[in-house]
């Protein structure tokens, strides 16, 4: 099978900025694009192939046709035609609402959905004052949480991080968080659109009304554990692969290279997602299929591939992720 690119699903949002279109090298009449969904199987938001002989086919149809050759045997047996990951670029011109996501158990119990929402963020670039909030800064009770929503002091008990490009945050389901203004990030998450909005800074939606909060659901979903630091620390090394996050839902690594770099996939029973954050070049699989890649593009390598080679034109920096 050929390395696959998909048409981006662009999401204009009230907090969206202006970075996504130029970053991806696309022209659009849409404004305030907050998110570009790069690979998605969320209902009504299914990605469609834009390159090669399979152009025009939805991802769900590809999985139904190619099964384990596309996603891997274990993934197909568990998920059927649902792709297990959702990949996005997010551009925040304003602070997003403070949120939390349910775990798998709560998603099933409350919404009859298989997946909760564990995710990770990789910071691509930052604007002036770029920041985000992740995790509780001190111990609170569920009752104090409700009181702080009511008196608008919930941000007083959250860790607020100033950002630099390359920062990584892992957000297991239950961790309270908010992407802050000036943040431009890549997000990798379980395939789920379940979000509980905790606090929205008094904003109103496009209809002029305050957006709905999910105070009681969030109260149950929050993990009240307190950590000293919620940032993922790692050492970036050129011409090597650096694992950033490894959990039951995905493993994500960073590859930064200025020479041909081969990743062995022979023992991997999974697809491989490649997200290009810097530079450009080509990728080639073991069957001789080649595809260009540049900053802002996301490519899906089918599980049938046993290796992938990165061929940079200068410097190339990519995230890779599999299940």
Cα–Cα distance for residue pair 252/207, rounded to 1 Å: 38
Domain ranges of the chain: 4-232, 240-322
Q: Flag whether pLDDT at 37 surpasses 90.
A: yes
User: Quick one: average pLDDT of 238-266?
Assistant: 97
**The pLDDT of residue 79:** 95
Beta sheet of 196-199, edge-to-edge order: 158-162, 131-136, 177-179, 98-100, 196-199
User: Quick one: average pLDDT of 6-33?
Assistant: 95
Q: Flag whether pLDDT at 283 surpasses 80.
A: yes
For the stretch 59-95, pLDDT in tens is: 999 999 999 999 999 999 999 999 999 999 999 999 9
Is 197 a catalytic site residue?
yes
Q: Give the chain's mean pLDDT.
A: 96
User: Quick one: average pLDDT of 96-111?
Assistant: 97
**The pLDDT of residue 7:** 98
Cβ-contact 134, 177 below 8 angstroms: yes
Alpha helix positions (H), 189-291: 215-221
Cα–Cα distance for residue pair 129/177, rounded to 1 Å: 17
Cα–Cα distance for residue pair 66/46, rounded to 1 Å: 17
**The pLDDT of residue 315:** 95
The token pair that represents 200 in the structure block: 């929205």
Cα–Cα distance for residue pair 242/56, rounded to 1 Å: 34
**The pLDDT of residue 52:** 92
Active-site entry in 69, 109, 138, 197: 197
Q: Is 251 helix (H, G, I), strand (E, B) or coil?
A: strand
Topology of domain 4-232 in CATH is Jelly Rolls (2.60.120)
**The pLDDT of residue 202:** 82
* pTM of full prediction above 0.85: yes
User: Quick one: average pLDDT of 106-134?
Assistant: 97
Q: Flag whether pLDDT at 208 surpasses 80.
A: no
**The pLDDT of residue 206:** 67
Query: Percent of the chain beyond pLDDT 90?
Result: 95
Looking at 3.90.1300.10, 3.90.79.10, 2.60.40.2140, 2.60.120.10, the CATH number of the domain 240-322 comes to 2.60.120.10
Domains 4-232 and 240-322 share a fold: yes
**The pLDDT of residue 270:** 98
User: Which pLDDT band holds residue 58 (cuts at 50, 70, 90)?
Assistant: very high
Alpha helix positions (H), the chain: 20-24, 59-66, 68-71, 73-79, 104-111, 142-150, 215-221
- Secondary structure of 126-173 in HEC code, one letter for each residue: ECCCCEEEEEECCCCCHHHHHHHHHCCCHHHHEEEEECCCCCEEEECC
**The pLDDT of residue 59:** 98
């Amino acid at each position: 099978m050929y390395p696959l690119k998909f048409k981006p699903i662009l999401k204009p949002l009230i907090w969206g900025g202006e970075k996504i279109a130029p970053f991806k090298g696309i022209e659009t009449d849409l404004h305030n694009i907050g998110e570009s969904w790069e690979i998605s199987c969320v209902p009504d938001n299914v990605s469609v192939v834009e390159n090669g002989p399979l152009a025009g086919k939805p991802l769900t149809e590809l999985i139904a046709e190619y099964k384990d050759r596309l996603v891997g045997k274990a993934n197909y047996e568990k998920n059927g035609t649902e792709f297990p990951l959702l990949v996005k670029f997010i551009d925040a011109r304003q602070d997003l609402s403070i949120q939390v996501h349910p775990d798998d158990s709560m998603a099933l119990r409350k919404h009859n959905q298989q997946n909760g929402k564990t995710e990770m963020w990789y910071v691509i670039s930052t604007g002036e004052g770029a920041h985000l909030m992740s995790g509780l800064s001190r111990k609170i009770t569920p009752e104090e949480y409700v009181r702080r929503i009511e008196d608008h002091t919930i941000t007083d008990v959250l860790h607020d991080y100033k950002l630099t490009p390359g920062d990584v945050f892992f957000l297991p389901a239950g961790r309270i968080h908010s992407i802050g203004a000036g943040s431009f990030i890549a997000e990798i998450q379980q395939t789920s659109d379940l979000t509980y909005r905790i606090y929205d800074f008094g904003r109103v939606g496009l209809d002029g009304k305050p957006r709905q909060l999910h105070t009681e659901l969030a109260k149950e979903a929050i993990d009240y554990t307190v950590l000293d630091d919620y940032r993922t620390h790692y050492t970036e090394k050129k011409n090597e692969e650096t694992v950033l996050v490894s959990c039951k839902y995905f493993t994500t690594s960073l590859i930064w290279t200025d020479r041909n770099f081969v990743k062995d996939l022979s023992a991997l029973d999974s697809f491989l997602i490649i997200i290009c954050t810097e530079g450009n070049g080509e990728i080639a699989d073991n069957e001789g299929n080649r595809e260009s890649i540049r900053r802002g593009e996301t490519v899906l390598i089918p599980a049938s591939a046993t290796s992938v080679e990165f061929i940079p034109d200068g410097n190339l920096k990519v995230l890779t992720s599999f299940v």
